[in-house]
Structure 1
Amino acid sequence: MIRQCVHDALDRIQSSFPRIEDLETLLGLCDPDEIRYLHATSSSVRNDFCQERVALRALIEISSFCHNSCLYCGLNRYNRKASRYTMTEEELLQCVESAVKQGIRTVVLQSGEDGTATESISQIIALIKRTFPIAVTLSLGERSYDDYHAWKLAGADRYLLRIESTDEILYRNLHTDRTLSSRLDCLEHLRTLGYQVGSGIMVGVPGQSITTIAHDIQFFCEKQFDMIGIGPFIPHPQTPLAESPPGDLLLTLNTIAVTRIATKYPWMPATTALGSLNRDYRIEGLKAGANVIMPNFTSHHYKAQYAIYPNKQSKTESRKRLEQLATRVGLSIDYGRCDSLLPG
């Protein structure tokens, strides 16, 4: 039996700006019937506002160098055991071509914050856009307004920059050389420049609470991001958080579901992190309201070196396998660009 408070909380967050207490109620659900009801509601909201489909974004990890020292990330500059690489232009284009041959119309170029020259990235973007009829998403971290502007002029369509936490103290505890204010400034710059903008959080980092997550979801509602990525924290053995427990799977799935219901329109991935636990939980992510799969098209000899967290799911998946993932939850693959769904 579903408690009346759950019905009421769901009704309220669908019809108005969500209250913290309603978000906390839904995030903390642990009764199996109530969880199924929450996730079914989320799937229904996704289908109503985004259609019954899954978008594909080809992930290409172009460099594992990073100047940052984020406490949770295996690419942090203090990890002397990390393997470092930077793809050549030829290697990158081969990865893009492989994705296009599978019918994928969006690539995501991701790297650590390695300080690559602005013009080099601009040249890569322009070359991809001249060669292939696809959307280009960047996930290159914090850069200046002028850098973002140059990349937009070169043809970049989207940018992913996870907020990680809207709690200033928690953010400072996780990032020794970054501030929440600079992250917020970057997100504003990207929106001003006309990017389709994505953000998101990890669930389960030390110091995070359900209330923290509830405030993050309010932030997502306020900013109306085009894309929101939510995945579990997975501790990396060569980081200061190595001995911390991993993020709770149920809370991660509830966070996806509640975020979907509250925000309605974003493209939300069943993240690679969900596929990198003791088994592949991306199906559960789709059932909770996600509608994006990000198959990894990084060159095979580099995949293991891009180790943000251990045991990362990085197997190249066939078109048939991706379609099967979608079919298992009653969805179909949309092989278009799948641009922003936000009204207006």
Structure 2
Amino acid sequence: MALINKFLTNKFEEPYILVCTSKSQMLFSKDLLDKEGIENDLIPTPKGFGGVCTTAIKFDKKFEQKVREIIKKNNIEYEGIYSLKDKYKYNLSEIFNMNISDTLKDIVKKVEANIELNKEEIKYLLEVENEEYDALIRMADIIRKECIGDRIEIRAAIEFSNYCRKNCNYCGVRRDNKIKRYRMTEEEIIDEVEKLYKVGIKTVILQSGEDPYYTTDRMLSIIKEIKQKFRMGITLSIGEREEEEYRLFSDAGVNNYLLKIETASRRLFELIHPDDDYDIRVKHTRLIKEAGMRAASGGMIGLPTQTIDEIAEDIIFQRDFGIHMIGFGPFLPAKGTPYENCKPGDLKLSLKVVAVTRIVCQHVFLPATTAIATLHPDGQTLALKAGANTIMLISTPPSLRDNYQIYSNKNMVDLSFAIKSTRDAKRKLPKYLNYDYLKELGYEIEDELI
């Protein structure tokens, strides 16, 4: 835990939050608080204080009066200032009727009261079995329903380049792997975005290796065209960039930036990333938030030599760094990498991590990852039942998909697979999809799914 605490500031004796009416007002307020020397942090707005995947500013109660003076003087548009003592409470009474230990009952009481769990309690949850495992999954599903509801979120990824300057030991597109490389043109990217727009997808994920060919200007041109033509949400996943680039991307309309920590353990991070720096990755996680984009992160479960203690720290990292979208999936070996012959991650442990992350982080988006769908044919459905609420479609052109294999034998999750997973999990599809158009294309969608 000391490895994480080194980078965690903003520990508040009595935390309060400021919830603004817009991203611009939130960033303006944060800038003013920074200039006044008021320690603060950007966090996902907790349940009961605002919408999912919105951002609040956390600060200590001792600065409350000063913050009120600042927002009044500068005519800040805000929804309210709230004490986090008044947290949303959950009804988990049915869990106590299950065959669980006194230790788990004590943990459930804390979760019900919305009291933060410590690492030992998180580790306990990660190691439960039998009926206690069932209790864990049910508890996560209750919290998911309270925080997010029954409708899943569908996003779509266009993997527009598999060139990468990095040599991560686990990744199939690493620099030294002998694979067929490709780069999509701006026109090709926009054509794929248009297909998603017609289907009704609201957020596109632009993903690539760390490819210097896509300069700031090239990326800004793509971003601005998507915004002008389709007004879609944009998530970037293109690796570490400069601080100014993050601000330019945010100003151009990028909503989210996915930069996975992969593991919060310095030991393990350095083992799997021979040419990356742990401190820099942590710094960039903060820079993304401070630029005004929602931070997306996550990690792999079952990495070689990974421990339960380290997995608990991974979850705590996501909570304490205020990550909005958290993608945890099993480690899967990739052909041609140093980890090619390593054992894949465990399905049940991966599902536990999804469930515990929902319980610990609550009012955030959790994907049922492509990796878990690759590990097991029902993995995505099981993840949705364990607290996940988001599915990411693979929307790379079919002729290129096989060349973007971060891990081998990837399940190319398409809309049909997402519909099936949603149906099997007894969840609902998002309202924003263009169902008339989808039915014209031949998709079978029952009324109860809409």
Q: How does 1:1-344 map to 2 (within 5 A)?
A: 1-13=99-111, 15-31=114-130, 33-80=131-178, 82-115=179-212, 116-318=214-416, 322-336=418-432
Residues 191-230 of structure 1 show CA distances to partners (whole Å, capped at 9, x for unaligned) of 0011011110100001211100111111122122110000
- Percent sequence identity is 36
Residues 315 and 256 from structure 1, CA distance in 2 versus in 1: closer, same or farther, beyond 3 angstroms? closer
CA contact under 8 A between 2:259 and 2:285: conserved in structure 1? yes
| Shift of residue 336, structure 1, vs aligned partner | 4.7
Q: Structure 2 length normalisation: TM-score?
A: 0.72
Q: Describe the superposition over 1:165-202 as per-residue Cα deviations: whole angstroms up to 9, x where unpaired.
A: 11111110110111111111111111001101111010
Q: Displacement, 1:335?
A: 4.2
Separation (CA, whole Å) in 1 of partners of 2:165 and 2:314: 26
Q: How far does the alpha carbon of each residue in 1:237-268 deviate from its partner, in whole angstroms, 9 at most, with x for none? A: 21111121111111110000001001101101
Between the aligned partners of 1:77 and 1:226, the Cα distance in structure 2 is 30
Rounded Cα–Cα distance in structure 2 between residues aligned with 1:137 and 1:49 = 22
Quote the Cα distance in structure 1 between the aligned partners of 2:298 and 2:358: 12
Task: Indicate the SS of the match to 1:11.
Answer: helix
**C-alpha distance in 1, partners of 2:195/2:370?**
19
- For the residues of structure 2 that align with 1:273 and 1:89, how far apart are their CA atoms? 28
Partner of 1:342: none
Aligned to 1:53, the other structure's residue is in SS state: coil
The alignment partner of 2:152 has SS state of: strand
CA separation of 1:17 and 1:306: change in aligned 2, threshold 3 A: same
Change (3 A) 1:312 1:99: same
Q: Given residue 126 of structure 2, which amino acid in structure 1 is its aligned partner?
A: L
RMSD: 1.5
Q: Which has the higher contact order (CA 8 A, sep 6+)?
A: 1
Change (3 A) 1:231 1:44: same
CA distance in structure 2 between the partners assigned to 1:278 and 1:225 by the alignment: 27
The letter of the residue matching 2:274 is: T
User: Secondary structure of 1:234's match?
Assistant: coil
CA distance in 1, matches of 2:163, 2:349: 31
The answer to whether the Cα contact below 8 Å between 1:271 and 1:293 also exists between their aligned partners in 2 is yes
Secondary structure of residue in 2 paired with 1:35: helix
Q: Which one-letter code corresponds to 1:265 in the other structure?
A: H
Q: What is the CA–CA distance in structure 2 between the aligned matches of 1:106 and 1:112, rounded to whole Å?
A: 20
**Residues 55 and 335, structure 1, Cα contact 8 Å, conserved in 2:** no
User: Which consecutive residues of structure 2, in runs of 5 or more, have no partner in the other structure?
Assistant: 1-98, 434-450
Secondary structure at 2:313 match in 1: helix
**2:373, 2:411 within 8 Å by CA — same for their partners in 1?**
yes
Runs of 4+ in 1 over 4 A off after TM superposition: none
Paired with 1:333 and 1:278, the residues of 2 have a C-alpha distance of 22
**Distance between the aligned counterparts of 1:217 and 1:11, measured in 2?**
20
Q: Number of aligned pairs?
A: 333
- Deviation at 1:76? 0.6
Please say if residues 224 and 252 of structure 2, whose CA atoms lie closer than 8 Å, have aligned partners that are also in contact.
Answer: yes
Instruction: Measure the CA separation in 2 of the matches of 1:332 and 1:215.
Output: 32
Q: Is the 8 A contact 1:17 1:221 kept in 2?
A: no
Cα displacement string for residues 83-136 of structure 1 (whole angstroms, at most 9, x for unaligned residues): 211111121112111111221100000000011211100100000001102101
Contact 2:347–2:376, Cα closer than 8 Å, also in 1 = no
Please say if residues 370 and 413 of structure 2, whose CA atoms lie closer than 8 Å, have aligned partners that are also in contact: no
Q: Quick check: 1:57–1:293 contact (8 Å CA) kept in 2? A: yes
Is the 8 Å Cα contact of residues 276 and 312 (structure 1) preserved in structure 2? yes
CA distance in 1 between counterparts of 2:369 and 2:252 reads 28
Match for 1:38: what amino acid? Answer: L
For residues 361 and 156 of structure 2, what CA distance do their matches in structure 1 show? Answer: 24
Give SS of 2:140's match: helix
In structure 1, runs of 5+ residues without a counterpart are 338-344
CA–CA separation in structure 2 for the residues paired with 1:72 and 1:147: 27
